[in-house]
Structure 1
Amino acid sequence: MTGTAEQLASVLTELLGTELPVRLRTWDGSQAGPPGAPMLVLRNRRALRHLIWRPDELGLARAYVSGDLEIDPGTDLYELLTAVVRLVERTDTVTLRPGARELLGPQGRRLLRTATTLGAIGPRPPLPPEEARRLKGSRHSLGRDRTAISHHYDVGNDFYRLVLGPSLVYSCAYWTPESSTLEQAQEAKLDLICRKLGLRPGMRLLDVGCGWGSLLLHAARHYGVTGVGITLSEEQARGARERIAEAGLAEQLTTRLQDYREVVDGPFDAISSVGMAEHVGTEQYRRYAGLLYGLLAPGGRLLNHQIARRPSAPGERYRTSPFITAYVFPDGDLSPVGETVSLLEQAGFEVRDVESLREHYALTLRAWVSNLESDWDRATALTSTGRARVWRLYMAASALAFEENRIGVNQVLAVRTTADGGSGLPGTRAAWLTAAGGQQPAQGPGPGSALDSELSSEPA
């Protein structure tokens, strides 16, 4: 008798019109698929029901997060995800979502017969509790944004500390020849931002989406600024306040549970927004840029660090990943970097510099995945097995997306010029990167370090 894996592989190959790029092992122990290919393990019939009810990446994610679908311990996660991405790229997803008419055809009838034989026909499995439920209110209203942010960031500071490491920086690091560890690379990134902003003692910094306060702490310690950080995450705000108090910097730094649309105490000498603008939404971005412009003093600089997608082809409609929307960043939006630059300019900014850190983010994500996998039992104890699976899947898939140039990340430096058009910037990129008036960090990269030497060798 043919095993369940052989039956399943046969019908999937027919439906997809191509050989499966993965090997399958099913609950009866049978295997099918190319020898040596990365292996998926279907632990029960419910795994198939997830796919029948939602035969796309979201169905796969639901099966994996719920534990009904496993990745074989001997399989390389990145190799498996690469194979799945290639399959999706080759396959028209419409063929995987047959309507009533298609189900009456020979292919549809065979699919139903196989599903019935395998015991996969049944009610839709319950959604994993880690999946975001339908958000209430209009898209990117203040209340809905708070809910969306809470879904992703309020999962426990100890869990994030395990994944991100002691730096608690949730954006891409800056890997230089001197940065052999994640912590060193994150320190280099924080210092790069401070130097791009031209921070000096006595300046007032606004950090929009301040996370756990890492940039504020670095700017206060090494550049003598006073700072205000805002976030919509209660866990982040609590963690940032604790870290600021422990550092003895409560007189210099303030953290607020506040939306960027609620900040009214400008002007600030510099504004940073690192990994936050992806949550703003396309329909709100012009307003976001305008509000930051209004909060910045003339001659002040904005550093906007933001993930970008590739531009859509003419006539093509951009579609956010259903897995990312459901499990990772509800209501998140990605735009091409050109659109971001244009909107900042429309708000009144002069854009002075754009730097891509795409490869840096791939390295960072792989480091985070390694942190998670190396302390897996503790990670699941701190949150849930399903949540840890979500983070493992999304971070590994994102690493590949950055490596393959399907998404990128850019630091955009913009200036609110003075009334006479002055930018306050030296004439060359190398000069303004080394012109910051900060204090030398006790350890790690800083003005005058080897990192500066590397940057100063770049074309202006």
Structure 2
Amino acid sequence: MGNPATVADTFAPLLRLAFGARPPVRFEFWDGSAVAPLGASPGTMRIRSKDALSHMVWAPGELGLGRAYVSGNVDLDGDLFGMLRALQSAVPGDARLGLAGAWRAVGAARRLGALGHRPPVPPEEARPARGRSHTRGRDAAAISHHYDVGDDFYRLVLGPSMTYSCARFAPEDDLRRGYADPTVSLADAQRAKHDLVCRKLGLPERPGMRLLDVGCGWGSMAMHAASTYGAHVVGVTISRTQADLARARVAEAGLSGNVEIRLCDYRDLRGEEFDAISSIGMFEHVGAKRAARYFDTLRALLRPEGRLLNHAISSVGGSTMRGRSFIGRYVFPDGELLDVGEVVLALERAGFEVRDVEALREHYALTLRQWVANLENEWERAVALVGEGRARVWRVYMAASALGFEDGGLGLHQVLGVVPAQQ
């Protein structure tokens, strides 16, 4: 009698369908069997139980694989960036198993006992929302899902700057475009980004300007503008935990006379005037259908010759983060990325003169790699703070995003619009 088939024996035909003769990384299964690449592997994907296959049968594609990873039924051990890059490069963008492949997958899952039950969805996953997107209530829920996970966790990942947006890895006085120096520290890079925004908004030219910081996070940009250039800043956020900590940080820095933090939706801003507005990492939550209203609202708050700096992730042709995507369910529910050309057009239609567009794509790749390193270096503490599932979400989403910025699938643009002087 021959030896009984291992899990690897059963799974190998599916790996050949997906990757060809050999997979790009080592696959190891719960019975200890494995399928390895021909050469060296950047790491090992460990399929720890048949529940991993059940997740992928019930939710084929990235959502099922994401559920398997978040729940701990799949591990990625080794060089995370190298593994994700190898897997991405080995599968063509239009790859499909096809009907015959799907039947093989179901048959393999049946033989391995993975069809008998539907495993529970990890609690870190956001429930699919009903109704119109980007209503006030739905936006508040989406923001809370991502940002209200604990200030200590964000401090661990982001470092002391508490800045959750692309840094600029160059000295503050080095304004060369396209130049990114990986030897610059994350704290210095975030300070350089804040200073770049302040310079583009003209804060050094006229100390004491009134600045609105939309989506102010934990207050870092507002504090830099106030402490460095004497700006009077109003920062707004719809995350209660962000607002609470931002106010505490402002008070601790002795800046309460210059910085006001409001728990406020941008749609409620009216009847005030500002010299400048910064919007850093906020626009991704606005949505394509709301972009015109967003820029109209901000345009109405600016004095003649006032400036708006919109700093946002972009995508050629635009993209949404919803449906059955991993990032839409676990990271940014209802998030949307616009093509930078659409952003420029929307600003012009709102009455701005677009004076500057700068790409910082490479800088965001470096930022994300630093955040992943911070998380991995403090993994046990991160798990203690937010649970292993949520720590896994952040680890894989940030690493995959870094690769997206490195290969150009994602972009990051700062677009500067100026209100024309009154004639």
TM surpasses 0.5: yes
1:108 Cα deviation (Å)? 4.8
**Is 2:23 aligned against 1:24?**
no
Secondary structure of 1:333's counterpart equals strand
1:6 Cα deviation (Å)? 2.5
CA offset digits 1:99-143 (Å, max 9, x no partner): xxx4xx6x5554333222211112221111100112244210011
Partner Cα distance (1:15, 1:215) in 2: 46
Runs ≥4 residues deviating over 4 A: 15-19, 317-321
**Is 2:204 aligned against 1:191?**
no
391 and 348 in structure 1: CA distance in 2 versus 1, 3 angstrom threshold: same
Alignment of 1:202-351 (within 5 A): 202-311=208-317, 322-351=325-354
- 8 Å contact from structure 1 (residues 358, 410) kept in 2: yes
Secondary structure of 1:210's counterpart equals coil
TM-score after normalising by structure 1: 0.84
CA RMSD of aligned residues (A): 1.8
Partner Cα distance (1:403, 1:88) in 2: 18
Residue of 167, 170, 173 corresponding to 1:176: 170
Indicate the residue corresponding to 1:453 in structure 2: none
- 8 Å contact from structure 2 (residues 63, 325) kept in 1: yes
**Is 2:364 aligned against 1:358?**
no
Q: In the alignment, residue 185 of structure 1 is paired with which amino acid?
A: A
319 and 306 in structure 1: CA distance in 2 versus 1, 3 angstrom threshold: closer
245 and 126 in structure 1: CA distance in 2 versus 1, 3 angstrom threshold: same
Partner Cα distance (1:386, 1:110) in 2: 30
277 and 32 in structure 1: CA distance in 2 versus 1, 3 angstrom threshold: same
TM-score after normalising by structure 2: 0.92
- 8 Å contact from structure 1 (residues 9, 33) kept in 2: no
1:176 Cα deviation (Å)? 1.0
Alignment of 1:117-196 (within 5 A): 117-176=111-170, 180-196=184-200
- 8 Å contact from structure 1 (residues 194, 219) kept in 2: yes
Alignment of 1:412-423 (within 5 A): 412-420=415-423
Partner Cα distance (2:327, 2:217) in 1: 20
Partner Cα distance (1:160, 1:109) in 2: 43
- 8 Å contact from structure 1 (residues 9, 24) kept in 2: no
156 and 319 in structure 1: CA distance in 2 versus 1, 3 angstrom threshold: closer
1:318 Cα deviation (Å)? 7.0
Secondary structure of 1:187's counterpart equals helix
Partner Cα distance (1:269, 1:275) in 2: 20
Secondary structure of 2:335's counterpart equals coil
Q: In the alignment, residue 27 of structure 2 is paired with which amino acid?
A: L
Secondary structure of 1:126's counterpart equals coil
Residue of 365, 382, 386 corresponding to 2:385: 382
- Give the number of equivalent residue pairs: 405
Residue of 66, 70, 82 corresponding to 1:65: 70
Q: In the alignment, residue 20 of structure 1 is paired with which amino acid?
A: P
Question: Gaps (5+ residues) in structure 2?
Answer: 173-182
Q: In the alignment, residue 390 of structure 2 is paired with which amino acid?
A: R
CA offset digits 1:46-84 (Å, max 9, x no partner): 011011111211111110000000112xx2101111122
Secondary structure of 2:345's counterpart equals helix
Question: Gaps (5+ residues) in structure 1?
Answer: 97-101, 421-460
Partner Cα distance (2:237, 2:388) in 1: 27
Partner Cα distance (2:88, 2:264) in 1: 38
109 and 219 in structure 1: CA distance in 2 versus 1, 3 angstrom threshold: closer
CA offset digits 1:283-336 (Å, max 9, x no partner): 100110111111111111001001001237xxxx97767011000000000011
Indicate the residue corresponding to 1:457 in structure 2: none
Partner Cα distance (2:136, 2:149) in 1: 20
180 and 55 in structure 1: CA distance in 2 versus 1, 3 angstrom threshold: same
Secondary structure of 1:297's counterpart equals strand
1:11 Cα deviation (Å)? 2.8
CA offset digits 1:165-221 (Å, max 9, x no partner): 000011111111577210011111111111110113221100000000000000010
- 8 Å contact from structure 2 (residues 23, 35) kept in 1: no
Alignment of 1:419-438 (within 5 A): 419-420=422-423
Indicate the residue corresponding to 1:426 in structure 2: none
Identity %: 55
- 8 Å contact from structure 2 (residues 320, 335) kept in 1: no
1:18 Cα deviation (Å)? 6.4
